[in-house]
Amino acid sequence: MNCLICVTYLRARSVGSTQLWWSLRCVFPDLMGYKGDGGVYTRTKLLVMKIGRPLLQKLAQLAQLEVDVHNEPILLEDLNKIVDWAEKLKELDTTGVNPLVTMASEYNIFQEDTPQAPLAHAKALANAPSRDSNYFRVPKVKE
């Protein structure tokens, strides 16, 4: 029985079938949830879906990426697993701890403000996928 589920599950993952994947999740949530425990991963607990489809699409839009129907189930599962695993940080009490925002240990290092030759136009444009005289060329911005 387990084998059959595993095979169906892997198949659902590999073909990226949203429907099959979701129905499997509903029927066998225990088997499909991962829970990280100090690095040992067992499929014992139900995975809490913190990131749903609308949020995933929103994130993709913010990151300027496209997530199509084919990739959605795999990404949802992976992202939720990662987020669920990183949730471990919440066990630690960090009240009053100043966030570490920079690794720099030296401050106010100045240097002389001397003009230097800029990158020549031709060089700056040399790597552009499309260019037009002195400009980068892009598809139209307005509809």
Partner 1 sequence: MKKEFRRRPKEKNTDSLDKLPPFDQLQALLQQGAITCEDIVDRCLHNIAQGAYLNAFLRVYAEEAKQQAATIDQMCQTNNLPELAGMVVGLKDLLCYKDHPVQAASKILRGFVSQFSATAVQRLVDKHAIIVGHQNCDQFGMGSSNEASAFGPVRNALDTTRVPGGSSGGSAVAVQAHMCHVSLGTDTGGSVRQPAAFCGLVGLKPTYARISRHGLIAYASSFDTIGILSRTIQTCATVLEIIAGPDDFDSTVSHRPVPVYTAQLHFDKRAKVAYFPVALEHPGLQPAIRKQTQATLDTLLRAGHQVEAVDFPLLEYALPTYYVLVNAEASANLARFDGVRYGYRSSESITVADMYQKTRTQGFGQEVQRRILTGTFVLSADYYEAWYVKAQQVRRLIKEKLEMIFATYDFIVLPTTPTTAFKIGAYTQDPLAMYLADLYTVPASIAGIPSISIPNGTDENGLPIGLQVMAPAFGEAQLLAFAQYLTLLL
Residues that bind partner 1 (CB under 8 A): 13, 34, 36, 38-41, 51, 55-56, 59-60, 62-66, 75, 78-79, 81-83, 85-92, 94, 97-106, 109, 111, 119, 123-124, 126-130, 136, 138-141, 143
CB of 141 to partner 1, least distance (A): 5
CB of 97 to partner 1, least distance (A): 4
User: DSSP secondary structure string, 2-64?
Assistant: HHHHHHHHHHHHHHT-HHHHHHHHHH-HHHH--EEETTEEETTSPPP--S-HHHHHHHHHHTT
Q: Helix axis angle, 72-86 relative to 53-62, nearest 10°? A: 90
Neighbours of 22 (CB within 10 A): 13
Nearer to partner 1, 2 or 94 (CB): 94
Q: Output DSSP code: residue 99.
A: P
CB of 87 to partner 1, least distance (A): 8
CB of 105 to partner 1, least distance (A): 7
